[in-house]
Copies of this chain bind each other. A is one copy, B any other.
Amino acid sequence: MFAEAQSDPALSKEVFEAEETRLRTALLKAQYRQLKREDRGLLIVVAGIDGAGKGATINLLNEWMDPRHIHTLAFGEPTHDEQERPPLWRYWNEMPAKGKTGIVFGSWYLPLLREAARKKPRAQRLTEYVDTINRFEASLTADGIQIIKLWYHLSAKAQAKRTKNLLSNPETAWQVTEADRKVQKKYDRICQAGDTVIRLLNAPHAPWTVIPSADEHMRAVCTAQTVLHALEQRPRAPKSQVFTASSETRRRSPDRFAQLDYSATLDKDDYESELSQLQGRLAHAVRSKAFAERSLVLAFEGQDAAGKGGAIRRVTHALDLRQVDIHPISAPSHHELAHPYLWRFWRRLPRQGRIAIFDRSWYGRVLVERVEGLASSAAWRRAYGEINDFEHQLAGHGAIVLKFWLAVTPAEQLKRFRERERSPFKNFKITPDDWRNREKWNLYTQAANDMLARTDTDDAPWHLIAANDKRHARVQVLRDIVTAMEKTL
């Protein structure tokens, strides 16, 4: 893998200067062309041997390209804030908008590289890391974020020489940190780890390039050429179906709505007593010590006028307002559209000890966006796997994830629509869109059934609730939350 770079090739000053003019001119042109595209961004992952000049190269790219449109995303040890969310949160959170270029330093490869550099790497950990990275990169590239990965390499001899030179001059000695000295001793293991990682994750849609780094001219030219090539090339879609086999998403789903008992009701006295008791248990659960290291993520979906808002208010009544965030989800803004689909949900993940309630959610991709043709067939079919993966990461980090579908019958919906229209202060809730969606009842039902069949997981179960009777539905929602909380905590 490193054979060429190991020989520490160099470029003469003359060759470099000629190349510099050509590359800078071409890079700027390509960068400006990319800026005009709202469907495409570039992430450059920077890794490699310490002392190979990664920092200098990032400075160089900022000098050679227009730095106003480059984001340098350099990550160190996770902050408190970051530790309270799944490991990939920090990268989602800082994801540059499409059109822009992001340079990632301290990337999602760090834990994998550390594991691979152990004396005895643990096979299972390696597999987990590789799997997570594979899905992450496949999801990003499928959604318009091109990824290239650069490994800066030089020989052990060149590394030692560079350190010696810097140390010999008191003016430059400060550039050698304590960490740099340690790394030298581990040179072989780091090379070995790099080799493993590159072999395991060198996908055509997110390729690795080894940059010979002993000579700064060679390093600069190779870096610029690789970036230029990526900007000029049409990005490649992930080949492997990382998320779902297409046969899977074409299978007919059972109709779970037909199996519901819509006649369930609850009388007013029972309702008030049960509701209060359940709210009390929920209040107790979220104040418990065990919950301080977890979080609660609730997603509410359902037909229009199924009573999501009323159910959510019965939940929040039991909660301290300082502990909960309610996120009403509607069509993405221009700003949100310039990012991968799940970005706006990743950014809203609660820290530990907190609750996030989504009034409509990331399931819009496989419901409204599918039915209304707002997402391509490939995009919404892929979304089942992406969503399962998203929720798996949440649950894996200790979040309790529950999803509710409040289900009403067409007749009950019609009754509520009419009531809303008649009320001077509820008619804002009914729009021509609601009537249009109602005409597509069967399409939405099919989409919902497919969703239930493909995303009802142990990590994040669906609760399908008959909601023709509001009292019954509200108590059922509370009961499901309380049961899950008490079981987990």
- In whole angstroms, how far apart are the Cα atoms of A151 and B66 in the complex? 52
B27, B175, B279, B425: which contacts A24 (Cβ < 8 A)?
B425
Q: Knowing A75-B322, A322-B76, say if A283 contacts B28 (CB, 8 Å).
A: no
- Please provide the chain A residues from 358 to 374 with a CB less than 8 Å away from any CB of chain B in the complex: 359
- In whole angstroms, how far apart are the Cα atoms of A72 and B324 in the complex? 9
A265 CB within 8 Å of chain B: no
| Number of chain A residues close to chain B: CB under 8 A | 59
27 pairs from A and B in contact (CB 8 Å cutoff): A21-B425, A24-B425, A27-B425, A28-B425, A32-B428, A58-B321, A59-B317, A62-B326, A64-B425, A66-B428, A67-B326, A67-B328, A67-B359, A72-B321, A74-B322, A79-B80, A80-B80, A81-B81, A171-B276, A172-B276, A174-B283, A174-B284, A174-B318, A175-B280, A175-B283, A333-B335, A335-B335
- In whole angstroms, how far apart are the Cα atoms of A323 and B323 in the complex? 31
- In whole angstroms, how far apart are the Cα atoms of A380 and B68 in the complex? 25
| Chain A binding surface SS class | helix
- In whole angstroms, how far apart are the Cα atoms of A105 and B170 in the complex? 56
A168 CB within 8 Å of chain B: no
B55, B81, B171, B277: which contacts A80 (Cβ < 8 A)?
B81
- Chain B residues, CB < 8 A from A21: 424-425
A63 CB within 8 Å of chain B: yes
Judging by beta carbons under 8 Å apart, are B63 and A313 in contact?
A: yes
- In whole angstroms, how far apart are the Cα atoms of A55 and B175 in the complex? 55
- Chain B residues, CB < 8 A from A173: 280
B175, B321, B330, B333: which contacts A68 (Cβ < 8 A)?
B330
- Chain B residues, CB < 8 A from A359: 67
- In whole angstroms, how far apart are the Cα atoms of A424 and B20 in the complex? 11
- Chain B residues, CB < 8 A from A55: 320-321
Judging by beta carbons under 8 Å apart, are A273 and B171 in contact?
A: yes
A121 CB within 8 Å of chain B: no
Minimum distance in angstroms from A296 CB to a CB of chain B: 16
- In whole angstroms, how far apart are the Cα atoms of A72 and B75 in the complex? 31
- Chain B residues, CB < 8 A from A425: 21, 24-25, 27-28, 64
- Chain B residues, CB < 8 A from A313: 59, 62-63
- In whole angstroms, how far apart are the Cα atoms of A330 and B69 in the complex? 11
B28, B63, B105, B334: which contacts A321 (Cβ < 8 A)?
B105
